[in-house]
Amino acid sequence: MSVDRNRLERALNPKSVVVVGDKGPGYMWLSNMSEYTGALYSVQVDPNEIPGIEEKNIPNFSSITEIPGEVDLVVCAVPRQIAPIIIGQAIEKQVGGVSMFTSGFAETGEPDAIELQKKIVDACTESGMPLVGPNCMGIYNRELGVKFSNQQEQGSGSDLGVISQSGTHGIGISLGSQRLGMKVGRTISIGNAVVCNESDYVEYLIDDEKSPIVAMYLEGVKDGPRFFSALKKLAQKKPVVIWRGGGTDAGARAAHSHTASLATDTAVWDGMIRQSGAIPTESLEDTLDVLAALVHAPACAGLGTALVAMTGGQSVAITDQFQRAGFDVPELSQKSYDTLGEFFVTIGGSYRNPFDAASTIRSETENLEKILEVLAEDSNIDGGVAIELTTAGFDKEPERLAAQLDLLAEYRTKTNQPVVAMMPEGGAVSGQAEVVLTARTKVSESGFPVYPSFRRGAEALARTQAYWAWRYSL
């Protein structure tokens, strides 16, 4: 079934939200909406729960139908037996859509629960009402402040949109992206996806300005051919990262009891993803690694990278990882070598590419500036720069790292090539865990992809590079 796009639009970008069945003492759903910019209502009939809601100055009603004006989104958190009644009220009120947190349906495998889900699905389908879920965390909209985790940010701008069949992973991708300096415009936790399915959301995201990049966690799809064709269109328009859960036999069994997903052979799934042009990932950190490269690096299909490490051993290690991931680590032009030879400290250092640069860069940034100037002029380097950053002295002198980041940003603007920050422990990164964390956060917040291992950085950049190469070949 294809859902009414206008109603889905209302549900995903609601000007008014009613939370049905929230409970004290935490009132999780109403509390999640504390930064919501639209009109917020509550429906609760339990006399024990109502005072707590009224204390929050949120108007409470005994039925959705009693709410004055339009309702764009119903957040339904009632026990499962009550769910059909709430759906009935929502249909009567002609709301935009319902996001159903309530679980205990087809995913349990119980005949009664399957029947109950069918009742809800039939009612929604007949009236054309988009249902998000059930068994889901629902909708996050950054700009409007609709949230399903109180740690999700409210504010303008968007770097990516997220679709997740798991609420946990929806939150994981949202919050993980935020921590890496990315703005998540929207997240849709789709749960059992029985009325609005993953194809509906993928089709919606094709033209969604809040999702310039898309990340997905999926365990299975309802309508394979439709999903495939929608995914192909999406990936041809914007980068799509797909983390699939349940790719092993035991994982598939877990996925079935989680979201009632059918198993598809991993080889078939992988072929389908490659064919669609989307980027496959295998875990949360893998997904975030690729997203950071997509968001924080310019689109670039070049393979010639310059690798700047701070010791000889690290220069070998980073080179192995980049070559393994498919990059070239080319020699530079004679002109570049001539210029580098004028200032580069070759005792305990080298500049053939990879660079062993600690003794040259030292505490001033002037020599980093010179190195970057040379690289920007060298046509062998068309795939960007990966640089090992140091945390030494960061706690006392954070300005030094800031000055380096300014130079790297300048290089990126001038060349339109990626600059990837490498901050693995065991090399130039040392000191208190807290200092390391603060330093890495500083780099992320300054808009650079930052990786705790050469391997993760190389593999993430390689997949974004392959995506752009594919896009440019279309």
Partner 1 sequence: MTSLTVTDTIITRALSEGRLLLSEVESKNLLVAEGISVTDAQLARDPDEAASVAESLGYPVVMKIISPDIAHKSDVGGVVVGLTDSDEVKSAYDEMMRKVSSVVSTARIEGVSVQTMAKPGIEVIVGATTDPQFGPVMMFGLGGVFVEVLKDVSFRVVPLEPRDAKQMVREIDALPILEGVRGQDGADLEALEALLLSISELIERRPEIAELDLNPVFAYSDGAIAVDARIVLHSQNGV
| Residues near partner 1 (CB under 8 A) | 220-221, 224-225, 228, 262-265, 267-268, 270-272, 274-275, 473
- Describe the strand order of the beta sheet including 355-356 as a list of residue ranges: 355-356, 306-309, 385-388, 419-422, 450-451
Smallest gap from Cβ 245 to partner 1, in A, equals 15
Q: Which is nearer to partner 1, 268 or 437 (CB)?
A: 268
Q: How many residues does the chain have?
A: 474
Q: Which two tokens stand for residue 199?
A: 């194809």
Strands 16-20 and 97-100: unpaired
Q: Which two tokens stand for residue 187?
A: 């997240």
Smallest gap from Cβ 166 to partner 1, in A, equals 18
**Residue 98, SS3 per DSSP:** strand
- Among 55, 194, 216, residue whose Cα is nearest residue 124: 194
Q: Which is nearer to partner 1, 21 or 277 (CB)?
A: 277
**10 Å Cβ neighbour count for 405?**
20
Smallest gap from Cβ 301 to partner 1, in A, equals 16
Q: Which is nearer to partner 1, 32 or 199 (CB)?
A: 199
Q: Which is nearer to partner 1, 275 or 432 (CB)?
A: 275
Smallest gap from Cβ 161 to partner 1, in A, equals 23
Question: Side chain identity at 210, as an amino acid letter?
Answer: K
Smallest gap from Cβ 4 to partner 1, in A, equals 25
Q: Which is nearer to partner 1, 437 or 469 (CB)?
A: 469
Q: Which is nearer to partner 1, 229 or 333 (CB)?
A: 229
The DSSP annotation for 8-19 comes to HHHHHS-SEEEE
**10 Å Cβ neighbour count for 223?**
14
CA dist 437 and 394 (Å) reads: 11
- Among 126, 155, 159, 121, residue whose Cα is nearest residue 141: 155
Q: Which is nearer to partner 1, 124 or 221 (CB)?
A: 221
Q: Which is nearer to partner 1, 337 or 470 (CB)?
A: 470
The DSSP annotation for 283-299 comes to SHHHHHHHHHHHHHS--
Smallest gap from Cβ 326 to partner 1, in A, equals 13
Q: Which is nearer to partner 1, 197 or 380 (CB)?
A: 197
Check residue 26 and report its DSSP letter: T
Smallest gap from Cβ 209 to partner 1, in A, equals 29
Q: Is the peptide bond before 280 cis (omega within 30 degrees of 0)?
A: no
The DSSP annotation for 296-339 comes to HS------B-EEEESSHHHHHHHHHHHHHTT-B-PPPPHHHHHH
Smallest gap from Cβ 261 to partner 1, in A, equals 9
* Sign of the CA dihedral with 119 first, then 121, 124, and 128 last: negative
Q: Which is nearer to partner 1, 224 or 452 (CB)?
A: 224
Check residue 276 and report its DSSP letter: H
In sequence order, which residues have a C-beta less than 8 Å from that of residue 16 and are 6 or more positions away?
38, 39, 40, 41, 69, 70, 71, 72, 73
Smallest gap from Cβ 233 to partner 1, in A, equals 14
Question: Side chain identity at 330, as an amino acid letter?
Answer: P
Judge contact between 325 and 463, C-beta under 8 A.
no
Smallest gap from Cβ 418 to partner 1, in A, equals 25
CA dist 78 and 95 (Å) reads: 17
Q: Is the peptide bond before 354 cis (omega within 30 degrees of 0)?
A: yes
